[in-house]
Amino acid sequence: DQQVKQNSPSLSVQEGRISILNCDYTNSMFDYFLWYKKYPAEGPTFLISISSIKDKNEDGRFTVFLNKSAKHLSLHIVPSQPGDSAVYFCAASSLTGNQFYFGTGTSLTVIP
C-alpha cells in the first residue's frame, strides 16, 4: 500500500525555468514532510521539509507547498539549474512514527 505517491516518473525543464514536482499522500496522520534529492550511486540528500502547521517553506531556490485538505505537496525550484538534475523523493512521517514513507521518485532533467 503506497501511502506516498509521486505520479510523474520524470520531468524535463529548461534551465532558468521553474520546476514543479508533485507528491500526494493518503495517511491523514502524516504531519511532517520532506524532499530528498538523489544522484546515481549516492544516498538521498535532505533538501527541505515542512510541518503540517505551515503551508509553505522556502529555502533559497527551493519552496515546498503543503495543501493539507488535498493531501498534496509540491516542490518548486526557481530558477532551475543543470546541477538540479537528479531524482527527487517526497517523504512523509508523523511525530509519533518511527519511519519515513517515501514516494517512488521523480527524475528531473534540467536542459541547459
Partner 1 sequence: NAGVMQNPRHLVRRRGQEARLRCSPMKGHSHVYWYRQLPEEGLKFMVYLQKENIIDESGMPKERFSAEFPKEGPSILRIQQVVRGDSAAYFCASSPQGSGTYNEQFFGPGTRLTVL
Residue numbers of the site for partner 1 (CB under 8 A)? 4, 6, 32, 34, 36, 41-46, 49, 51, 89, 91, 95-105
Beta bridge partners of 10: 107
Q: How far apart are CA 107 and CA 65, in angstroms?
A: 19
Nearer to partner 1, 15 or 72 (CB): 72
Nearer to partner 1, 60 or 112 (CB): 60
Q: How far is the CB of 71 from partner 1 (least distance, A)?
A: 17
Q: How far is the CB of 112 from partner 1 (least distance, A)?
A: 27
Residue type, 40: P
Q: How far is the CB of 17 from partner 1 (least distance, A)?
A: 26
Identify the CA nearest to 76 among candidates 63, 90, 87. Answer: 63
Nearer to partner 1, 1 or 112 (CB): 1
Q: How far is the CB of 41 from partner 1 (least distance, A)?
A: 7
Q: How far apart are CA 43 and CA 51, in angstroms?
A: 23
Nearer to partner 1, 17 or 54 (CB): 54
Q: In which residue are the cell numbers 525555468 written?
A: 17
Give residues with Cβ within 8 angstroms of 96, minimum separation 6: none
